[in-house]
Structure 1
Amino acid sequence: MTATTKVVQPLDAFFSAPIRKDGAFPTYLELSGSAELLGTRRAVKVAGTLDGHPFEATLMPSGAGPHWLPLRAALCTAIGKADAGEQVTVHLQQRFS
């Protein structure tokens, strides 16, 4: 296996979380229960959908338990949501790390 080969593990996990606007990232979601689901509190690369729109991102450890999913401006535009408190449905479908 080369360094560019992605090891893909299937996932089928749903989260619903409000957009947050403080902390280490300007806009993010906190995925409660993610550390238990993924078996780690480290950064994890994933793919799935946000409100039905495909995405790939790195879930970042919060230090206290759940992972944070940083929301880039392009993702906010795609889902039509960017305000703190707006609910977003996350479907994790693949894990790359």
Structure 2
Amino acid sequence: MPAAPSNAQAIDKKFSAPVIKENNSGWICVIVPESGDFFGTRKPVKIAGTVDGHEFQATLLPMGDGTHMLPLKAALRKTLKKDQGDSVDVHLNQRLS
């Protein structure tokens, strides 16, 4: 993973969630619980962390209900050997800006 920008903020949010296909967008993702309250926004949030121990960077996309979805790119899902219905452990450790 590239070095974090100097304005990255350390965070610590861990959760487990199933991999789903989001109905409206068709994205393969996981839903980040209570993310609107945690980040204090319902707008997109750039983050870094790990999924099942594999590092990644992504933009959390707002769902409109106070939660965000974390899109899981095909390459990461292939590395993880995970697909829809499988559970993953997520650790968000940096908020990027």
Classify the TM-score, shorter chain.
0.7 to 0.9
Q: Is the CA contact (8 Å cut-off) linking 1:6 and 1:96 kept in structure 2? A: no
1:22 and 2:22 equivalent?
A: yes
Q: More strand by proportion, 1 or 2?
A: 2
- Residue 10 in structure 1 maps to residue 3 in structure 2: no
Q: Secondary structure at the match of 2:21?
A: coil
Instruction: Determine the structure 1 residue equivalent to 2:96.
Output: 96
Structure 1 segments (4+ residues) deviating >3 Å: none
Aligned Cα root-mean-square deviation (Å): 1.3
Aligned equivalent of 1:69? 70
- CA drift of 1:12 comes to 0.9
Do the aligned residues in 2 keep the contact of 1:49 with 1:92 (CA within 8 Å)?
A: yes
* Greater mean alpha carbon deviation, residues 29-38 or residues 54-63: 29-38
| Structure 2 spans left out of the alignment, 5+ residues | none
TM-score between both structures, scaled by the size of structure 2 = 0.88
**Counterpart residue identity of residue 7, structure 2:** V
1:19·1:28 contact (CA, 8 Å) conserved in 2?
Answer: yes
Calculate the TM-score normalised by the size of structure 1: 0.88
Aligned length: 92
Aligned AA (2:47):
V
Alignment of 1:44-83 (within 5 A): 44-82=45-83
In the alignment, the residues of structure 2 paired with residue 55 and residue 20 of structure 1 have an alpha-carbon distance, to the nearest angstrom, of 18
Give me the whole-angstrom Cα distance separating, in 2, the residues matched to 1:58 and 1:39: 15
Query: Which residue is 1:87 aligned to?
Result: 87
Offset of residue 6 of structure 1: 5.5
Unmatched 5+ residue regions in structure 1?
Answer: none
User: What do residues 55-90 of structure 1 show as CA deviations (whole Å, max 9, x unaligned)?
Assistant: 0000000011110001110110121101x2211111
Displacement of 1:26 in angstroms is 2.7
